[in-house]
Structure 1
């Protein structure tokens, strides 16, 4: 009866807001933190309708402070973000509007959330010790549990982003922990996080393969650009055509069967050889086609002087395209290789901070649980 009455009260409040304060909601949508406030109120109403207003206020407060930790840390690092958006029964999220420059920055921004989350429920510890009210023990337990869960070392949780500066191999441990927890709780949300985490671990594991392919494409582009620069001085293109035909034959032999299957990670080296052969075939065909087009173009001379040939627009255009693609590849390789690099001293600091925060949160979770268990 009491639960139905509480739901009726919150439903009435919702009707009042929609009917009387439409103008305020419209105004909030256009402010910087309007989305945060609106989604916060929606989440508060959802939690309050099911668990009561005190629980709703507590859980929204804990999530809000956690997300503010991320926002403040991002601002300190000069990273642009979206405001925090609440999702009922899921939590909240903050989107980065630009790529983070390295794993150290990612770790810093991620760590600030659980750290702020720890600070958020410390007043509840004082209030419980002063009043003896079990509700404050519940707040301590919820706050420590939420933030400790977020420290599981797997993406997209904060823990996975924190330990990325140490080693992304730790993500596999986090996946195993999360898988066990998912089976224990049978929670759809936990299974969703597990799937996202598995994709993150998979993509990171395939990065070495992708870098190998990009490096090989870089070699092919540099070779093509160098060849093009020498074409105007060739007296004959016969040898070049023969070399390209030999490359085509070799590439087709190395590609093997078109429908061949490779075991992920285990056969990555074999797959890389096949993809490199495909690149050889592609650039050999491209070179032959370009050579035929160039040979059929008339040679233009500046002021009709045979000693001053005008560079071919066709070759100039292809050279420019090669340079642009090379720039993209070099940027990608530089980012991929440097992103997870960090000094050993920083790694030790992150490891100590991570373990210490997890230990403190665990202690407070046990503290809150013991109080509630004793009161039951």
Structure 2
């Protein structure tokens, strides 16, 4: 079971970097990553277990995809990472805590249905392999319900009560002892530090000290300026650019930059609400394309994340509903694991 804890940590720490490396197509990347994962698991486990395990991961991730689509949020196709798990990338963040929890619920709910279906098949076929798959599927979904952000349970907690995160601190230690995983300890420690920054450090120093940055790129046509004798800026050119920022009806924040001398306006999209302090050029490249000379402009946008407390405003009846669903699902998964252990004599 050690690889489960390590896998969860690696998924959270390295998932985005691996995702960017494997973006070779909307369909090709998921299929290739699935085949690679099956091959990797088959090096240790039987082929049947490897295939079944990856399919259970797929069912879990599809639950998130379906829930996100229902909320009108675009997401990437599931990407599989050997001995780590699977992930999807949110192309736009939820607008409120209720939506975040709804999307988080999708994975464990559909994943639990998939694991129960495997258990039913195991019961009627008396297959040790299917019993093992059912058990591991139930366990994976139960671990994901730990109220540790950004696991599914941590995201559900924002719509129930953030006090559940404190439960996650204690429960996370118990899981660490059970899995005996250093990497799972790392992700737990990162979660603990995040809570410290959010509820202690920032309240002492104020949110004005939490300056962050994001890089954006623009391609500017300048052939027409070159033709009239305008001196095109070189690679070492640096300057701050004027900007305006606004949010659309979906609360998606846009930053519009302007370079008057080049008669250029461009717009960048931020993944979160923020207070913009500065937009500056960090690098310029001269690029010649079929339609002439272009400048590839690299910008750094400096901002302070805006933590909107209204994000966590969830109606009381919704909190009760999500809270009941959360504890019922966790209890159901634990009970099903015990049943699989009794009927199938499985204890991984």
Contact 1:156 1:193 in 2 (8 A): no
Q: What are structure 1's unaligned runs of at least 5 residues?
A: 1-27, 215-326
Q: Residues of 1 paired with 2:61 and 2:309: CA distance? A: 30
Partner of 1:19: none
Q: Residues of 1 paired with 2:74 and 2:204: CA distance? A: 28
Task: Indicate yes or no: 2:121 matched with 1:127.
Answer: yes
Q: Residues of 1 paired with 2:28 and 2:109: CA distance? A: 25
In structure 2, relative to structure 1, the CA distance for the partners of 1:133 and 1:194 (3 Å cut) is same
Q: Residues of 1 paired with 2:52 and 2:116: CA distance? A: 13
Q: Which has the larger radius of gyration?
A: 1
Task: Indicate yes or no: 2:131 matched with 1:137.
Answer: yes
Q: Residues of 1 paired with 2:82 and 2:207: CA distance? A: 43
C-alpha displacement at 1:167, in angstroms? 2.0
C-alpha displacement at 1:46, in angstroms? 0.7
Task: Indicate yes or no: 2:313 matched with 1:366.
Answer: no
Give matches, 1:92-111, under 5 Å.
92-111=86-105
Partner of 1:150: 144
Give matches, 1:6-45, under 5 Å.
30-45=24-39
Q: Residues of 2 paired with 1:341 and 1:111: CA distance? A: 18
SS of alignment partner, residue 43 of structure 2: helix
Task: Indicate yes or no: 2:50 matched with 1:56.
Answer: yes
Query: How many residues are paired up?
Result: 238
Structure 1 residues 334-343 or 36-45, which shifts more? 334-343
Partner of 1:251: none
Q: Residues of 2 paired with 1:199 and 1:78: CA distance? A: 32
SS of alignment partner, residue 172 of structure 1: helix
Contact 2:135 2:346 in 1 (8 A): no
C-alpha displacement at 1:123, in angstroms? 2.2
**CA RMSD of superposed structures (Å):** 2.9
C-alpha displacement at 1:148, in angstroms? 0.4
In structure 2, relative to structure 1, the CA distance for the partners of 1:344 and 1:152 (3 Å cut) is same
Partner of 1:328: 275
Partner of 1:356: 328
Structure 1 residues 101-110 or 195-204, which shifts more? 195-204
1:49-106 CA-to-partner distances (Å, cap 9, x unmatched) read 1111011011101111000100111111111222211111111111212222111111
SS of alignment partner, residue 308 of structure 2: helix
Q: Residues of 1 paired with 2:184 and 2:34: CA distance? A: 22
Q: Higher helix share goes to which structure?
A: 1
SS of alignment partner, residue 86 of structure 2: strand
- Structure 1 segments (4+ residues) deviating >6 Å: 331-334
Contact 2:57 2:111 in 1 (8 A): yes
In structure 2, relative to structure 1, the CA distance for the partners of 1:107 and 1:211 (3 Å cut) is farther
In structure 2, relative to structure 1, the CA distance for the partners of 1:333 and 1:55 (3 Å cut) is closer
TM-score normalized by the length of structure 1: 0.58
Partner of 2:185: 191
Q: Residues of 2 paired with 1:178 and 1:55: CA distance? A: 27
In structure 2, relative to structure 1, the CA distance for the partners of 1:351 and 1:82 (3 Å cut) is same
Task: Indicate yes or no: 2:203 matched with 1:209.
Answer: yes
In structure 2, relative to structure 1, the CA distance for the partners of 1:103 and 1:54 (3 Å cut) is same
Q: Residues of 2 paired with 1:200 and 1:41: CA distance? A: 35
Give matches, 1:252-291, under 5 Å.
none
Contact 1:134 1:375 in 2 (8 A): no
Q: Higher strand share goes to which structure?
A: 2
In structure 2, relative to structure 1, the CA distance for the partners of 1:85 and 1:196 (3 Å cut) is farther
C-alpha displacement at 1:48, in angstroms? 0.8
Q: Residues of 1 paired with 2:157 and 2:346: CA distance? A: 36
Contact 1:168 1:204 in 2 (8 A): no
- Structure 2 residue corresponding to 1:182, chosen from 166, 171, 176: 176
Contact 2:30 2:80 in 1 (8 A): yes
1:322-371 CA-to-partner distances (Å, cap 9, x unmatched) read xxxxx938x98975211111110000000011011111111111111223
Contact 1:107 1:163 in 2 (8 A): yes
Q: Residues of 2 paired with 1:40 and 1:201: CA distance? A: 34
